[in-house]
Amino acid sequence: AQTVTQSQPEMSVQEAETVTLSCTYDTSESDYYLFWYKQPPSRQMILVIRQEAYKQQNATENRFSVNFQKAAKSFSLKISDSQLGDAAMYFCAYRSAETSGSRLTFGEGTQLTVNP
């Protein structure tokens, strides 16, 4: 079974600065997808970014980018020019591309605080 680990329960960043959230995963599969979701205090789950494992190019969405290291099974999220609205719990997630009916497996989450 696949597992996702987020080793930083909490992180903080100053407004306008850059922060990187870590995520590692364990899998024996070669084809899969990785995601970052954001959960603000409203508790809504919001998709931040998606990465396809067979693509070497790192995904980018505006101020959000990832550093995908397939061999190291690492998938970190970089938030540039942090804003107060970025404060949330961030979840890393894995989804198999080799199994039909594949679930999204989540890490434990990293609580990000943005200081003004």
Partner 1 sequence: DSGVTQTPKHLITATGQRVTLRCSPRSGDLSVYWYQQSLDQGLQFLIQYYNGEERAKGNILERFSAQQFPDLHSELNLSSLELGDSALYFCASSSGQGKEGSPLHFGNGTRLTVT
Containing H/E element for 11? strand 10-14
Rounded to whole angstroms, how far apart are CA atoms 16 and 80? 7
List of residues 6+ apart from 73 with CB closer than 8 A: 24, 25, 26, 27
Site for partner 1 in 44-73 (CB under 8 A): 44-47, 50, 52
Question: Any contact of residue 75 with partner 1 (CB under 8 A)?
Answer: no
Question: Any contact of residue 43 with partner 1 (CB under 8 A)?
Answer: yes
**Least distance in angstroms from the C-beta of 68 to partner 1:** 14
**Least distance in angstroms from the C-beta of 4 to partner 1:** 10
Question: What spatial distance separates the first Cα and last Cα of the chain, rounded to whole Å?
Answer: 41
Rounded to whole angstroms, how far apart are CA atoms 112 and 18? 12
Question: Any contact of residue 11 with partner 1 (CB under 8 A)?
Answer: no
CB nearer to partner 1: give 65 or 106. Answer: 106
**Footprint on this chain of partner 1 (rule: CB under 8 A):** 33, 35, 37, 42-47, 50, 52, 91, 95-109
